[in-house]
Structure 1
Amino acid sequence: MNTARALAGFSIAGIMVLAPAAAHATAGPATGTSDARAAQAAAPTQWGPHHAAGRRARAAGSLTATAKDDPGKPADRVTVTGSVTDLTAGSSTCGWAVFRISTADAVGGVTLKQRSYRTCTHGKPLKFAFSHKKVYHVELKVCAGAKAAKPSLTCLYAGTWKPLYTYYA
């Protein structure tokens, strides 16, 4: 019985000693959390390089997402910058960077948008930048294909999309 009382006394004493430290630790980061999120949003996240099949094209860049308090809501704004380079030797082929962006629409649904950037000059990178509001997800696919006004169906539907940003991560 005396051992139980001694252990209980140590437990209560330990709680009394740790309680002020825990309260201080909890109060400290609460103000720093918004500062940490702001710093995280200000610092762009590097992505890439990602290559097309056979390394016939390459894309790399950075992504910046605004900080948010609720991980269940989309980012207010996502900005993507980068470049795509054609690594094919033929003059009739091009390198593509295709982005698939999921955004929130006005009625609470999700809208799927697509941005594509093409360069047909071997070895010379094409720079790009775009921004979207209320972003849930950004994905990338790098392809090499025939010179055309838009990416081929093979480019869009074969292979896997590389996730660059997800709202809940």
Structure 2
Amino acid sequence: MGYGPHSLVEICAKLTILTKIGANDYNGRFSAELYMQNPVRTISSSDAKATLGDVLSSLDSQGPVEITRNGKTVGLLTLPPLPPVDANRLASLAIAYSKGLISWPQIAEETGASYGELLIALGLKNLSIPIIAPKKRPEQLAFFHQILDKAAARQQKQ
């Protein structure tokens, strides 16, 4: 299941256990409410109508919006669900990732999978996370060569 730009760590689940006992109860059942990093904002229906464009453009950055009328919830605006991640494709990309042939941003762009989903795919295939040495910048190399030159000059003096 894809979470888009949000990782599994960023998503917290709030489980509410319903313990109502009676004829029409939820005995033994629970409901799960998923909240992204941002809590659900609440606005009135008249404010939603007046600022609909702003509300829609803020869904990605500020999270879902609950719309109320006379204090009662009448709607909830959220982003559309993301298509599910192809598990077989993610598994094959996880193999390439563990060998260092593909980067995490490339996998995320292609599949929409979160880093947590990639870690799960690596674990299911018993693969390790690749150790990637960052490329050295020219100024780093110049500084390194300067140190080696000074060390060589010092050694020649002795």
Q: TM-score surpassing 0.5? A: no
Structure number with the higher helix fraction is: 2
Normalised TM-score (structure 1): 0.20
- Which protein has the larger Cα radius of gyration, Structure 1 or Structure 2? 2
Q: State the TM-score, normalized to the length of structure 2.
A: 0.21
